[in-house]
Amino acid sequence: MLNIPNIMDQVKKRNPGESEFHQAVEEVLESLAPVFEKHPEYLKAGILDRIIEPERQIMFRVPWLDDEGNVRINRGFRVQFNSAIGPYKGGLRFHPSVYLGIIKFLGFEQVFKNSLTGLPIGGGKGGSDFDPKGKSDDEIMKFCQSFMTELYRHIGADLDIPAGDIGVGAREIGFLFGQYKRIKNAYEAGVLTGKGLTYGGSLARKEATGFGLVYFVREILAANNDSYENKEIVISGAGNVAIYACQKAQEYGAKVIAMSDSKGYIYDKDGIKLDTVKQIKEVERKRISEYVKHHPNAEYHEGQRNIWTLKCDIALPCATQNDIDIESAKILINNGVKVVGEGANMPCTNEAVKTFLENNVLVAPAKAANAGGVATSALEMSQNSIRLSWSFEEVNNKLNDIMVNIFKAADSASKEYGMPGNYVAGANIAGFLKVAEAMMAQGLV
Ligand code: NDP
């Protein structure tokens, strides 16, 4: 029997102050208890103790000069969590809230997510407390170059392959890749993913996380004899994941009625006009509040979290962690929500997830539902290795197949372990088993 409170006491002692990491570990432990009962050999081999301890954690100084010539110092991170099934793989997040606890929670979740994709990639994550908001392109470039000047020695196409995340998009990946190439004096395209199409990027990578989320939720709906037809959807965020989730959901005939950014949300009862959101967020890099200037019938409301007071059939939190707390969960349930699809990483608190499950709301957990991004990153690596580019359709079809397979894996694990319909537990178990088997085979390392 797993003594979860005891294990959590240890985790908190060994990782003080890292609340997001504690939360991520606790959520996984609760799902894995029946696995350890069935496989006591895993406990004996220390798989649990090892899987919650990163293989390597790197923290470094990132000095750079702003446009006024002032010296600025940020902190850089790379946590190489687990390489049992492949090289470390996971994004870089640039956001002022970043500290070791956030990078560790993301790296820990990445281990299970990457395993679920069925592709040979281990888990890692990195980033910085640098805030790209309000910085000039020059400042972004100087920061990225300084960041890579340290990071380059820890990464490689067969070692550790970073990608984007919050605050790291095509612009940042371009600057990071340029500096890596310059330092290494070698064109190692497979060292970063999310690259531009002119220098080794993959078609459909930009769309992959959002599209994949909508494919995964489609499978959940279908398993419950339902579809996107006549569904009203609320999406938090207006970044990479949110925008392409909105696009695919609209293609499937659903009506997306609201989106948000870190300041507030827009509500358009006639359906969000995505071209306007793309122009504001992808091109002008402005606030979502600008939307109502183009569409006066829509409403803008301050307060990002208030978006969850809207009535909807499907909620897709695609912004950041702990976006839906228990209060928001209760409001969503009272308003009749049927499915919650996690586009962001850990967007629901553990209490919110429990409340959804107790009230028969179907939950598509982040590790499974947003795995389309990293899966397509792995497809980008494959294309880099064989020095070929696949068409959009080819990549998108592979992404669709991967999401269907992830759903099947989570669904069948949930059934095998006596929790049918609990895709949260199913995804954790299916992701864990493959990593655990590989760790067993490789001995005590
Ligand atoms: P972006 O930076 O493109 O967009 C993030 C969006 O969320 C922005 O609209 C941002 O608002 C909003 N937001 C609201 N509150 C916060 C907050 N407290 N911190 C940061 N952002 C906030 O990021 P992505 O769309 O790439 O990522 C969104 C989520 O999806 C993250 O949890 C990420 O880890 C996860 N994810 C991303 C993948 C990818 O391929 N990009 C893959 C798998 C998971 P504003 O515009 O005001 O900044």
pLDDT at 270: 97
31: its two tokens: 């799902």
Helix (H) or strand (E) holding 80: strand 71-82
- 117, 133, 165, 323: residue to mutate for ligand 1 pocket, most atoms within 8 A of CB: 165
Burial class (CB within 10 angstroms; exposed 0-12, middle 13-18, buried 19+) of 336: exposed
The contacts found for 418-425 with CB under 8 angstroms, 24 or more apart, are 418/34, 421/362, 422/357, 423/220, 423/362, 423/363, 423/364, 423/365, 423/368, 424/27, 424/31, 424/353, 424/357, 424/363, 424/365, 425/30, 425/31
pLDDT at 1: 75
Alpha helices of 158-280 — where are they, by DSSP H? 170-184, 205-223, 240-251, 274-278
Domains 55-190 and 206-369 share a fold: yes
Does the CB atom of residue 176 touch ligand 1 within 6 A? no
Helix (H) or strand (E) holding 441: helix 423-441
Task: Tell me what the pLDDT averaged over the chain comes to.
Answer: 97
Does the CB atom of residue 243 touch ligand 1 within 6 A? no
Atom of ligand 1 nearest to the CA of 168: 2
pLDDT at 2: 87
Instruction: Provide the β-strand partners of residue 122.
Output: 88
211 to 341, 371, 397: CA distances (angstroms) = 12, 10, 11
Q: Which CATH superfamily is domain 55-190 in?
A: Leucine Dehydrogenase, chain A, domain 1 (3.40.50.10860)
Per-residue pLDDT of the chain (445 residues; tens, 9 = 90+): 789 999 999 999 999 999 999 999 999 999 999 999 999 999 999 999 999 999 999 999 999 999 999 999 999 999 999 999 999 999 999 999 999 999 999 999 999 999 999 999 999 999 999 999 999 999 999 999 999 999 999 999 999 999 999 999 999 999 999 999 999 999 999 999 999 999 999 999 999 999 999 999 999 999 999 999 999 999 999 999 999 999 999 999 999 999 999 999 999 999 999 999 999 999 999 999 999 999 999 999 999 889 999 999 999 999 999 999 999 999 999 999 999 999 999 999 999 999 999 999 999 999 999 999 999 999 999 999 999 999 999 999 999 999 999 999 999 999 999 999 999 999 999 999 999 999 999 999 9
**67 DSSP 8-state letter:** T
- 99, 110, 307, 320: residue to mutate for ligand 1 pocket, most atoms within 8 A of CB: 320
CA geometry: angle 107, 98, 47, nearest 5 deg:
20
Q: Which fold has domain 206-369?
A: Rossmann fold (3.40.50)
Active site members: 125
SS3 call for 92: strand
SS3 call for 64: strand
Question: How far apart (Å, rounded) are the C-alpha atoms in residues 428 and 422?
Answer: 10
pLDDT at 31: 94
Tell me phi and psi for residue 103, to 5 degrees.
-65, -35
pLDDT at 364: 98
Question: How far apart (Å, rounded) are the C-alpha atoms in residues 30 and 87?
Answer: 27
Looking at the whole model, is its pTM more than 0.95?
A: yes
Question: How far apart (Å, rounded) are the C-alpha atoms in residues 147 and 141?
Answer: 10
Domain extents in the chain? 55-190, 206-369
Whose Cα sits closest to atom 31 in ligand 1? 344
Does the CB atom of residue 241 touch ligand 1 within 6 A? yes
pLDDT at 436: 98
Rg, C-alpha atoms of the chain = 21
What is the Å distance from ligand 1's center to 199 Cα?
A: 25
Question: How far apart (Å, rounded) are the C-alpha atoms in residues 399 and 407?
Answer: 12
pLDDT at 435: 98
Does the CB atom of residue 166 touch ligand 1 within 6 A? yes
> What does the pLDDT look like over 320-370, one tens digit per residue?
999 999 999 999 999 999 999 999 999 999 999 999 999 999 999 999 999
The answer to whether 195 and 189 have CB atoms below 8 angstroms apart is: yes
365: its two tokens: 């957990």
Q: What is Dmax (Cα atoms) for the chain?
A: 63
